[in-house]
Chains A and B, each alone.
Chain A
Amino acid sequence: TNTETYLKSVALKHMPPNLQTVDMLKAVPE
């Protein structure tokens, strides 16, 4: 949650509407 919040605040919220999320579960390998 900390990391998602951070990514949103620094960059994702400034991106085009359809690109404002990253699927963290998929992105972070086990």
Chain B
Amino acid sequence: MFCEKAIELIRELHRMSDGQLPAFNEDGIRQVLEEMKALYEQNQSDVNEAKSEGKSELIPTIKFRHCCLLRNQRCIAAYLYDRLLRIRALRWEYGSVLPTNIRFHMCAEELEWFNQYKKSLATYMRSLGGEEGLDITQDMKPPK
């Protein structure tokens, strides 16, 4: 069945419900994108055939593949988004310099996203508490 590689990506993250960041599964994503490419090309071909030869019986198959394309898109997007939520949480847990072993698990684009997030957060914190700003990532537990 289609979309099996895509669901594996989701399971990989779901297993780590505590927010740990596993290594970026570049190979997994590549395989899902390849499946999407194949599905799309098959659909293009069948759509042309359905139009030019009036083969309306191909429509259910075209819809089937389209559902799988949408599914693969959703799985990839959710995988990447959930990883961003984990990475965002790391800023609050570890501060603005992440441990090396965590950075190794991030792809270049995730590091870039993290840098942008840090900047947004810093800008926001500077806007609080008068001239000095306020570091809201400190003192996250109440005083005794």
Contacting residues, chain B, for A16 (C-beta < 8 A) = 36-37, 40, 69
Indicate if the CB atoms of B36 and A3 lie closer than 8 Å.
no
Contacting residues, chain A, for B3 (C-beta < 8 A) = none
Contacting residues, chain B, for A22 (C-beta < 8 A) = 73, 77
Interface locus among B48-56, B111-119, B122-130, B134-142: B111-119
Indicate if the CB atoms of A7 and B80 lie closer than 8 Å.
yes
A19 CA to B73 CA, complexed, in Å: 7
User: Secondary structure at chain A's binding surface: helix, strand, loop or mixed?
Assistant: helix
Count of chain B residues near A, Cβ 8 A: 21
Task: Considering the complex, give the chain B residue whose CB is closest to the CB of A27.
Answer: B77
User: Secondary structure at chain B's binding surface: helix, strand, loop or mixed?
Assistant: helix
Task: Considering the complex, give the chain A residue whose CB is closest to the CB of B116.
Answer: A2
Task: Considering the complex, give the chain B residue whose CB is closest to the CB of A16.
Answer: B40
A9 CA to B109 CA, complexed, in Å: 8
Cβ of B7 under 8 Å from chain A: no
With contacts A16-B69, A19-B69, A19-B73 known, is A6 near B37, CB below 8 A? no
Task: Considering the complex, give the chain A residue whose CB is closest to the CB of B88.
Answer: A3
Cβ of A25 under 8 Å from chain B: no
Contacting residues, chain B, for A19 (C-beta < 8 A) = 36, 69-70, 73
Indicate if the CB atoms of B37 and A7 lie closer than 8 Å.
no
Give A residues with C-beta under 8 Å from B: 2-3, 6-7, 9-12, 14-16, 19, 22, 27
Which 6 A-B residue pairings sit nearest by Cβ, starting from the closest?
A: A16-B40, A6-B113, A2-B116, A10-B109, A19-B73, A11-B76
